[in-house]
């Protein structure tokens, strides 16, 4: 099935998506492919990435660690070579751990910042260097609800996601005169592997059942259900399209109404 009728300008474009093997990234890849975009998946898990590429019809998958400049730079240039160029960069790879602020370890802090903040910086910078030479290109970063409001037990994760939004805003202002748009999406409580891990951790840290944790997520969500990866992906594809031509530097909430400003 193709969505190319909705965004005809996306037909034939080329995209590079980090963290596309699972969860939100996989849904973004699938939605881009349905819109006629030739898409490369870059992920630290090559087995899952290759499986996802076959299942959703991506062009190919490459192993890459967004924390490492040489790794992500090599993957990006490999993708540009095989796709014949690149028009869209989606910096989506991210990780979380959960802990009480006073128990947080240096390693937890550094790990969340390395993947979530440094990973987005490296991926964006490497893609933007190409986009500047083209005089066009589009970047979408996956931030979080936790980039807008500090989340308990996720202080380090929240701080790393606030960093993503600060970087997104600054980069958008620098690159706007060069014809490049840079935006972010801020998802809420999305049903993915990351969420499954967080439910288990939160249940233990709060001393409540997993069912209670999920019920609390839903109770905070005016639209009354857990978010699905596809809810995020559809907004990302919109942001990549010409329909969003006058949007840059935005952190677009896709939370079912959890957060509204
Ligand atoms: N699930 C949620 O509720 C939620 C909410 C808000 C924001 N987010 C953000 O959405 C993004 C995707 O999260 P998800 O829920 O789909 O998680 P997920 O764990 O299901 O998928 C994350 C993907 O990123 C890959 N990855 C992890 N570290 C990497 C690295 N160093 N280099 C390359 N790839 C790496 C993983 O292999 C995996 O394929 C993340 O940035 C996350 O912070 C998630």
Catalytic site residue 111? no
The structural domains of the chain, ordered by start, are 8-190+228-254 (3.40.50.720)
245 alpha carbon to ligand 1 midpoint, in Å?
A: 27
Pocket of ligand 1 (CB under 6 A): 18-19, 21-25, 43-45, 48, 64-67, 92-96, 115, 119, 142, 144-145, 187, 189-190, 192-195
Catalytic one of 7, 157, 217, 259: 157
**Listed residue (191, 210, 212) closest to 201, CA to CA:** 210
Output the DSSP codes for 154-215.
-HHHHHHHHHHHHHHHHHHHHHGGGTEEEEEEEE-SB-SHHHHHHHHHHHHHHTS-HHHHHH
Cβ-in-10-Å burial (0-12, 13-18, 19+) of 19 comes to buried
Full-model pTM? 0.98
Q: Can you give the pLDDT at residue 1? A: 55
Q: Whose CA is nearest to atom 30 of ligand 1?
A: 65
CA distance 98 to 90: 25
Q: Which residue has the tokens 């620098």?
A: 174
Burial of 203 (0-12, 13-18, 19+ CB in 10 A): middle
Per-residue H/E/C for 73-136: HHHHHHHHHHHCCCCEEEECCCCCCCCCHHHCCHHHHHHHHHHHHHHHHHHHHHHHHHHHHHCC
Helix, strand, or coil here: 71?
A: helix
For the CA of 114, the nearest atom of ligand 1: 31
How far is the C-alpha of 161 from the C-alpha of 150, rounded, in Å? 10
pLDDT confidence of residue 15: 99
- Position 119 scores a pLDDT of 99
* Vertex 124 angle, CA 254 and 134, to 5°: 110
Positions of the chain with pLDDT under 50: none
Distance 133 CA to ligand 1 centre (A): 30
pLDDT score recorded for residue 5: 82
């Amino acid at each position: 099935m193709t969505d190319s009728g909705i965004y005809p300008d996306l037909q034939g474009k080329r995209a590079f998506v980090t963290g596309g093997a699972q969860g939100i990234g996989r849904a973004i890849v699938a939605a881009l492919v349905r819109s006629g975009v030739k898409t490369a998946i870059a992920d630290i898990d090559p087995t899952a990435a290759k499986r996802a590429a076959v299942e959703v019809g991506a062009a190919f998958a490459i192993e890459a660690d967004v924390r490492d400049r040489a790794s992500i730079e090599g993957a990006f240039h490999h993708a540009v070579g095989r796709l014949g160029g690149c028009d869209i960069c989606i910096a989506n790879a991210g990780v979380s751990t959960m802990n009480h602020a006073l128990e947080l370890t240096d390693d937890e802090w550094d790990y969340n910042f390395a993947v979530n903040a440094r990973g987005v910086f490296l991926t964006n910078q490497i893609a933007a260097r190409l986009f500047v030479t083209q005089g066009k290109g589009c970047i979408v970063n996956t931030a979080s609800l936790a980039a807008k409001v500090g989340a308990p037990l996720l202080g380090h994760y929240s701080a790393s996601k606030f960093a993503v939004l600060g970087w997104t805003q600054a980069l958008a202002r620098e690159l706007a005169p060069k014809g490049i748009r840079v935006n972010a999406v801020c998802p809420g409580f999305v049903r993915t592997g990351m969420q499954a891990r967080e439910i288990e951790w939160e249940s233990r840290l709060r001393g409540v059942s997993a069912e209670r944790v999920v019920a609390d997520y839903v109770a905070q969500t005016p639209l009354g259900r857990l978010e699905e990866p596809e809810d995020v992906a559809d907004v990302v594809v919109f942001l990549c399209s010409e329909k969003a031509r006058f949007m840059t530097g935005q952190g677009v909430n896709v939370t079912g109404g959890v957060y509204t400003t």
